[in-house]
Amino acid sequence: MIEDVDPGMSPSNHNSENSSRGYIVPIGGAEEKFDNPEILDRFIDICGGKKARISIIPTASELAETGRNYEKLFRKIGIQHAQVLQILTRKDCQASEHLDYIEKSDGVFMTGGNQLRLSTTLGGTPVAQMIRRRNAKGMHVAGTSAGAAFMPEHMIAGGDEGSTPSPAMVTMAPGLGLTNNFIIDQHFRQRDRLGRLLTALAYNPFAVGIGLDEDTAAFIRPGDNLEVVGSGGITIIDPSNLSYSSMDRARRGDPVSLIDVKLHILIAGGKFEIRSRKAFAENATAE
């Protein structure tokens, strides 16, 4: 039976004291799938191992085989209960079979593609509400590339490459809303996206920016503390002590000045605490 989903469930309900919330696992895209699928193995592990039930949502992709490829991959790793939910339209987001499967799942995995396909198809629907509600009660949610960008309340929908922030460098849209503490960008180093993440944060320096390299994931546990898994790095941008910004008077195409922004580069094993805003190297222990 489908649980009663509260459409008003918001990221503020997922506060730092909510120890029952499931993990949020944004992946930077191009994760290793065959030789050493460390990120996927870790996701399966937190979902309960090979007996876990995984819902695969391929909505972001325009390729018909994307979902089936991940289904085959999860089954090759040893998951018997991995199922593609063919959600292509907003009507599909009301299908009882999809809602039933998510309700019984230990984890949801959203594939890459175009994050606007996710937001325009899932946004405000029973499927989105179910994912948020189940994550708040312990189900783990992972997303790669577009699936990662879609996770937070504020989603980077697109933008330009480059290292210097500029007012027109990024387009924002509402995301899934699993957290409002982070803004996430992916393929970060490979596609030179520092400027657009800085621009997104400059509009409202409330959230922390997470820039994910390819084959790299942030395992964000209840309480919004994260650990880095994978072969690349994660760029953490903390604007909480921003003392000056020229964003409010910059014109389209102008560079933007930002002073007292803190930046960390973390590799596998590195950690970041959202409450203390402290970063820890891979060989250090978070307090």
CATH code of the domain in which 259 resides: 3.40.50.880
Does residue 11 lie in a domain region?
no
214 has catalytic annotation: yes
- Once rounded to an integer, what is the mean pLDDT over residues 50-76? 97
Q: Give which of 246, 189, 179, 186 is closest to 210, Cα–Cα.
A: 186
Does residue 191 lie in a domain region?
yes
Give the predicted TM-score (pTM) of the model.
0.94
Crossing angle, helix 38-46 and helix 66-77, to 10 degrees? Answer: 70
Out of 140, 187, 227, 264, pick the active-site residue.
187
Mean of the per-residue pLDDT values of the chain: 94
Out of 214, 227, 245, 264, pick the active-site residue.
214
Q: Which domain, by its residues, includes 78?
A: 22-280
What pLDDT digit, counting tens, does each position of 268-282 carry?
999 999 999 999 999
Does residue 238 lie in a domain region?
yes
Amino acid symbol at 132: R
Does residue 13 lie in a domain region?
no
pLDDT beyond 90 at 13: no
- Determine contact, residues 237/197, Cβ cutoff 8 Å: yes
Domain count, the chain: 1
What pLDDT digit, counting tens, does each position of 153-201 carry?
999 999 999 999 999 999 999 999 999 999 999 999 999 999 999 999 9
pLDDT beyond 50 at 66: yes
pLDDT beyond 70 at 255: yes
pLDDT beyond 90 at 10: no
pLDDT band at 9 (very low <50, low <70, confident <90, very high): low
> How many Cβ atoms from other residues are within 10 Å of residue 32's Cβ?
15
Does residue 7 lie in a domain region?
no
pLDDT band at 8 (very low <50, low <70, confident <90, very high): very low
Does residue 118 lie in a domain region?
yes
145 has catalytic annotation: yes
119 has catalytic annotation: no
Out of 61, 105, 119, 145, pick the active-site residue.
145
Does residue 287 lie in a domain region?
no
Does residue 50 lie in a domain region?
yes
